[in-house]
Amino acid sequence: MARKKGVVLLSGGIDSSTLLYYLRSQEHSLLPITFKYGQRHEKEVESARAIAISLNLSIKVVDISGLGLFGGSSLTDDIPIPEGHYTDESMKLTIVPNRNMVFLSLATAYAVSMGCDYVAYAAHAGDHFIYPDCRPEFIDSIAYSIKLATGNVGLVTPFSHLSKAGIVRLGLGLKVPYLMTWSCYKGDEVACGRCGTCVERLEAFSLNNEKDPIDYMAGTYLDR
């Protein structure tokens, strides 16, 4: 069988970094892609680049921040970032409208241009259903749309039945350099340990009886 070739959505966080390592372990030929959409900081893009380089892959960085189409989210605007476990209210503040559909559409265009078999995306069972474009029915529908639009590009989501702790378990076995990853919504020198994504990341390592290798500010969720 010919070697599979795919575009991988890489955010620089733990889910997508593990996905890249997982697909590499299958000996696929990989084209990681990441997006600048007006995040408050460059740390995500820097982490995505470092993870790609760690596998000797070059990364496609697509800057859509200047298009002026995303607004009203605390990930890109000047709204305080909520702390603690996610709540419906705090998560609504971090929604960038239609972000996953935009990313998947652009990644698909890139996949067609580069003659790839698939686009891979680290959708997982821990995704929050307040984000409508993370729900399984959306993923199924957009996968069908992509297939219809391209004829031969598939959307693959190998982690759709894994929790974040399950992803970390897999990644620890694959020796993913989690020290290079970045999840915190804030762009400080070290991760805050308090925002929704830090809390979930700390929990995922804790459930594996492992310590998250990145540095955190004093007083994280786990210290409480």
In the chain the first and final C-alpha atoms are separated, in Å, by 52
Give the separation between CA 148 and CA 141, rounded to whole angstroms: 11
Residue 215 in the binding site for its own copies (CB under 8 A):
no
Residue 141 in the binding site for its own copies (CB under 8 A):
yes
Residue 145 in the binding site for its own copies (CB under 8 A):
yes
As given in the structure block, the two tokens for residue 147 are 């297939």
Residue 190 in the binding site for its own copies (CB under 8 A):
no
Helix (H) or strand (E) holding 7: strand 5-9
Query: Which CB sits closer to its own copies, 30 or 191?
Result: 30
The CB-of-123 to its own copies minimum distance in angstroms stands at 13
Residue 28 in the binding site for its own copies (CB under 8 A):
no
The CB-of-76 to its own copies minimum distance in angstroms stands at 11
Site residues for its own copies, 96-125, by CB under 8 A, read 96-102, 104-106, 108-110, 112-113
The CB-of-64 to its own copies minimum distance in angstroms stands at 7
- Taking CB atoms within 8 Å and a gap of at least 24, the contacts of 42-47 are 42/187, 43/12, 43/182, 43/184, 43/187, 44/11, 44/12, 44/13, 44/182, 45/12, 46/12, 46/182, 47/12, 47/13, 47/17, 47/180, 47/181, 47/182
Give the separation between CA 175 and CA 30, rounded to whole angstroms: 18
Query: Which CB sits closer to its own copies, 110 or 169?
Result: 110
Residue 142 in the binding site for its own copies (CB under 8 A):
yes
Query: Which CB sits closer to its own copies, 9 or 199?
Result: 9
Q: What is the DSSP letter of 167?
A: H
Residue 165 in the binding site for its own copies (CB under 8 A):
no
Q: What is the DSSP letter of 123?
A: -
Residue 93 in the binding site for its own copies (CB under 8 A):
no
Residue 60 in the binding site for its own copies (CB under 8 A):
yes
**146, 156, 162, 198: which one contacts its own copies (CB under 8 A)?**
146
Residue 209 in the binding site for its own copies (CB under 8 A):
no
Query: Which CB sits closer to its own copies, 11 or 18?
Result: 11
Cα–chain-centroid distance for residue 53?
Answer: 17
Longest dimension (CA), the chain: 52
List of residues contacting its own copies (CB under 8 A): 60, 62-64, 66-72, 96-102, 104-106, 108-110, 112-113, 132-133, 135, 137-138, 141-142, 144-146, 148-151
